[in-house]
Amino acid sequence: MSKGINVHLVGGGPGDPELLTVKAVRLLQEAEVVILDRLISEGILKLIPKGTSCIYAGKAPGRHYVSQDEINEMLVKVALSGRKVVRLKGGDPFVFGRGGEEALFLAEHGIQFEIIPGITAGMGCGSSLGIPLTHRGLAKSVRFVTGHSRNNGELDLNWKSLADPDTTLVIYMGLGTIGEVTSNLIAAGLPGDTPVAAVEKGSTEDERCCITTLSDLEGRVRVEGFKPPTLFIVGKVVTLAKQLNPALEDADGGLRIVG
């Protein structure tokens, strides 16, 4: 562990253990306590040495196992015990991982910490499917947004701004609100035939994906029974998937199961 640092907020990446950083692996092997997110894959869990104390702090849509406030308090309590702590989070701690909230809480309590970035799900899933998030002539920019609404209310997003045909839109935690997302994007001017990739458990052995269009997206993911964690990539770059990853194409039009 880094000298003088009590807590490391570590990005666990999209799920494939080989996509962890070298530093993340070293810290996991040195940790005395690992506080785990729900989305940590089995392959990554196997890298944690036997005898290491593991605390599950997972949260699922609509049924939080441990609240964020409780996680913050837990981090401080364990850090003050003097043990080497890794807070292991899916993806990157600072991309829809609430790592900023945890870091602020630690700072307010005078606890030294270090952020170890991870490959965020949008990048990991795009690479796994052969979808470049930006590409000359297809996408000038990429935007990461959350499809999760606070307290089950309406999504507070600037739909007009998001409905840009020259931008790739990556939607995290949007499975439960995908009908609202698609209808608002189409109403804001994004064509219904815009290509979309839905990716469940991206980069892992259990990865499933579906290539469809914005107007057909909600029905397709319901019929195919997609479950969290599912990420959506919206934009013209999705058309490159079948060229860069021929294994995607099969008899049913783009659904595949890997592993």
Exactly one of 37, 92, 123, 164 is catalytic; which is it? 37
pLDDT at residue number 256: 56
Residue 250: predicted pLDDT: 57
Which stretches of the chain drop beneath a pLDDT of 70? 1-4, 59-64, 151-152, 249-259
What pLDDT shows up at residue 259? 28
Domains of the chain in start order, with CATH, are 7-116 (3.40.1010.10), 121-257 (3.30.950.10)
Which are the contacts of 196, defined by CB distance < 8 A and separation ≥ 6? 211, 212, 213, 214, 217, 232, 233, 234, 238
How many CB atoms are closer than 10 A to CB 23?
A: 14
**Which among 89, 123, 173, 201 is annotated as catalytic?**
173
In whole angstroms, give the CA distance from residue 132 to residue 223. Answer: 27
Q: Choosing from 59, 206, 236, 242, which is the catalytic residue? A: 59
DSSP class per residue in 89-100:
ESB-TTSSS-HH
pLDDT at 258: 37
pLDDT reported for residue 63:
56
**Burial label, 223 (beta-carbon count in 10 A; 0-12, 13-18, 19+):** exposed
What confidence score (pLDDT) does residue 257 get? 42
- The model's pTM is 0.91
- Per the annotation, the verdict on 16 as an active-site residue is no
- DSSP-derived letter for residue 149 is P
Q: Please give the pLDDT value at position 66.
A: 84
Catalytic residue flag (residue 59): yes
Residues 236/139, Cβ–Cβ less than 8 Å: yes
Predicted confidence at residue 2, as pLDDT, reads 56
Annotation marks residue 37 as catalytic:
yes
